[in-house]
Amino acid sequence: MTESDSIISNRSLSELLQDSLTSTPCVNIRKNAKVRVATGMLVQYLERFTDSVVVRDDTKPIGVIGGREIIQGVFKNPSSDFFEMKQVDEIVDKHLNVVTPDTTLKELISLWKEAGRAFAVVDMGNDDYSVISVKKLLEIGIKNTFEFHLSEIPKKKIITFDKDATFGNVMKLMLENRTRKILLEGTNQFINDRIIIEAIEKFDYLLGNDHFLDIPASVVSLEDAKVVADDLSLSEISKIMYEMSQPLIIHEERAISPWDICMSLEKR
């Protein structure tokens, strides 16, 4: 094995993940389904199972819908019409990354950075696909020992919201900063797209309520980020995140997400 072959990011997904690569089924929705149906699926699956729902035209995947598309749509049209009148093919992100077992880790992460979404489907032939997302890549971090620790992850600005913020304020921050998680200032608690989508569902998909953006975000329960004092290794932090339903780690002045772990794996 050459030095280049030994670099994790140059190895294929099938080599790094083996049978686990195709163990996550693809959650699908028809292109003519209502946005309400897609939103309900995201409430059920978002982050716990997969990051997005794949939109199909018959058997062919044509795009993807995740929390970003729902947040964007509600921010522009905060009414039940968005959920009851629009079809998923009207809001679908058609930039769907399709990879194969021979795709390298470096190639996958490059596709993700270009798309701005850590999600892809693995083509297994015969119109059969599985899903690969950041949670799957945490398995690589768990299985491999690296001389890399939390303190080596670059610090970046932490996006926060205040206790009086409305859903509109929070969603605007998410869209402007292209992030799915925002911390409540002065705490380790955060709100994310899944929490907002769950709130939308509880408000009956905004039926009879056109003022969702003005509702205080404090009406929902926030998630707790895990505060870590020790300078843990990449393997240790990957294991902690893998076992969290909504992974976010606070270390010193860093808010570390699974995406940061992916960026670290790309350099291994």
pLDDT at residue 5, as a whole number: 40
Find out whether 47 and 78 touch, Cβ atoms under 8 Å. Answer: no
For the cut 50, the answer to whether the pLDDT of residue 25 exceeds it is yes
pLDDT at residue 65, as a whole number: 95
Mean pLDDT of 24-33: 92
Identify the CATH class of 3-143.
alpha beta
Find out whether 147 and 264 touch, Cβ atoms under 8 Å. Answer: no
- Bridge partners of residue 99, in order along the sequence: 122
> Does the domain spanning 150-266 belong to CATH 1.10.20.10?
no
pLDDT at residue 2, as a whole number: 36
Structure tokens of 73? 């749509």
pLDDT at residue 252, as a whole number: 92
- Token pair 């309900």 is at which residue? 40
Mean pLDDT of 168-183: 96
pLDDT at residue 147, as a whole number: 84
pLDDT at residue 6, as a whole number: 54
- Domain boundaries in the chain? 3-143, 150-266
pLDDT digits (tens, 9 = 90+) for 64-91: 999 999 999 999 999 999 999 999 999 9
Percentages helix, strand, coil for the chain (3-state, rounded to 5) are 45, 20, 35
Strand intervals (E) in the chain: 28-30, 52-57, 60-66, 98-99, 119-123, 129-133, 160-161, 181-184, 189-192, 223-224, 226-227, 249-251, 254-256
pLDDT at residue 4, as a whole number: 38
Mean pLDDT of 222-248: 95
Mean pLDDT of 87-115: 95
Mean pLDDT of the chain: 92
For the cut 60, the answer to whether the pLDDT of residue 48 exceeds it is no
For the cut 80, the answer to whether the pLDDT of residue 123 exceeds it is yes
For the cut 80, the answer to whether the pLDDT of residue 47 exceeds it is no
